[in-house]
Structure 1
Amino acid sequence: MTKEYRTVYEGGEGEVVEKKSRFIASVRPVSTEEEALAFIETIRKKHWNASHNCFAYVIGERSELARYSDDGEPGGTAGKPMLDVLKGEALCNTAVVVTRYFGGTLLGTGGLVRAYSQAVKEGLASSVIITKIRGVKLKIATDYTGLGKIQYILGQNGLKILESEYTDKVEIHVLVPGEELEAVCSEITEGTNGQASLEAGESCWFAQIGGQPAVLEG
């Protein structure tokens, strides 16, 4: 089972202009090939009068499925370079369409490869890219005397608190990568002399978004 993977959380758009030809990249997160194809069709309808709508997408937590199209451009000058950018960024479950409006000047094969590749890079630069991590939501209950030690342990392990509840005791919820759970629990138990109560929830995907931890769908 995949422990983590990089993907697009929020898609964006980017554009490059080369010898008056416009290359507009549209990036979107997708979880199935059907979603990717529907997205591509949406862009084609939006840019129905464009010279080309080339695409590339990767599906699966290990990018098991990869497809691309040159959409009439010379073979190997558009779709494949676009896919190479996605793979170079180690992205999964991501689709990109680059729309070209021809500017009247031929670019040659090298120029096309550079333009399509750069357009995808610009599109990704305007997108929100995250690393989805498989882990668990850990609930920690402690009295106030153990709070400082627990916060220190969490900080040392790079774990951010999801939420906290303060009553006669403190209840902390934190997201922990699955492979680190046992070690973190042992460290907290030892650090609080067994006074902290630990309860691990079900497995989930999570990521840091805007510097904050968030639970995500699979």
Structure 2
Amino acid sequence: MIPSRSYPSTIAAPIDNEIVIKKSRFIAHVAPVGSPDDAEEVISRVKKQHWDARHNCVAMVTGVLGDQARSSDDGEPSGTAGVPMLEVLRRRELTDVVTVVTRYFGGVKLGAGGLIRAYSSATSEALDRAAPVRREMLTRVTLDVAHVDAGRFDNMLREWAPQHGARLDEPHYAAVATFELWVPPAELRQLTADIAAASAGSVVPVVGEDRILDVP
């Protein structure tokens, strides 16, 4: 068995969630991003939308391993907003995610502890509503199949892929039908055996590069 390592997850789509604490509104916007530049675009868009808010605090984690991070208190007392938000992202083992929590001040001061809980809760509750997307290292495998056998292999691979944690892309039809799968390394031997059995050894999988991909 080939050992596998785990990678931080991300989320499928942006989520907004609002909580109210002592008349202050905390509006959390959490979004998946592909890079720090993408995150900055999200931050700019939220700040433009909520230009009249007292604070737009930020936390982001990016990179395949979640090794890039940044946070901002945006005028709140140091360490009471951005860092607690960032800690929520870290605890949930997420990456390629940015969260902006907008605060409309309600006239009642919350104190340092109250702010930490508010910004943490706003972020956590938004993430509770987000759809997680797992990430894994997968290996590219291609199969060239004669057109006469394409339908049979298409059915077989569509059934095989979800059972083995693999991802099947749409086939490409030219001189032959080409199927492309992304397969967990530990399942490569099984795929090779199953293809050999299905084709009496006439179809040989071609193993390509490894990539870290989203696995719904």
* TM-score category (smaller protein): 0.7 to 0.9
> Post-superposition shift, 1:17?
0.9
Kept after mapping to 1: 8 A contact 2:195/2:201 = yes
Mapped partners of 1:174, 1:80: distance in 2? 40
Report the 3-state secondary structure (helix = DSSP H, G, I; strand = E; otherwise coil) of the residue aligned with 1:10. coil
Measured against aligned partners, the alpha-carbon deviations of 1:160-211 in whole angstroms (never above 9, x if no partner) come to: 655579xxxx97653312x2253233442575563553233554443333xx
- The number of residue pairs the alignment matches comes to 205
What is residue 106 of structure 2 aligned with on the other side? Answer: 103
What is residue 189 of structure 2 aligned with on the other side? Answer: 183
Measured against aligned partners, the alpha-carbon deviations of 1:99-124 in whole angstroms (never above 9, x if no partner) come to: 00111111222221111111111222
Kept after mapping to 1: 8 A contact 2:27/2:122 = yes
What is residue 80 of structure 2 aligned with on the other side? Answer: 77
Runs of 4+ in 1 over 6 A off after TM superposition: 146-153
* Identical-residue share of aligned pairs (%): 36
Report the RMSD for the aligned CA atoms in angstroms: 3.2
Greater CA drift, 64-73 or 124-133: 124-133
Closer, same or farther in 2 for the Cα pair 1:151/1:41, shift >3 Å? closer
Gaps of 5+ in 1: 210-218
Bigger share in strand: 1
Question: Aligned match of 2:58 in 52, 55, 58?
Answer: 55
Gaps of 5+ in 2: none
Kept after mapping to 2: 8 A contact 1:54/1:70 = yes
What is residue 206 of structure 2 aligned with on the other side? Answer: 199
TM-score, length basis structure 1? 0.76
Does 2:49 align with 1:42? Answer: no
Greater CA drift, 130-139 or 103-112: 130-139
Mapped partners of 1:117, 1:70: distance in 2? 12
TM-score, length basis structure 2? 0.76
Closer, same or farther in 2 for the Cα pair 1:163/1:34, shift >3 Å? closer
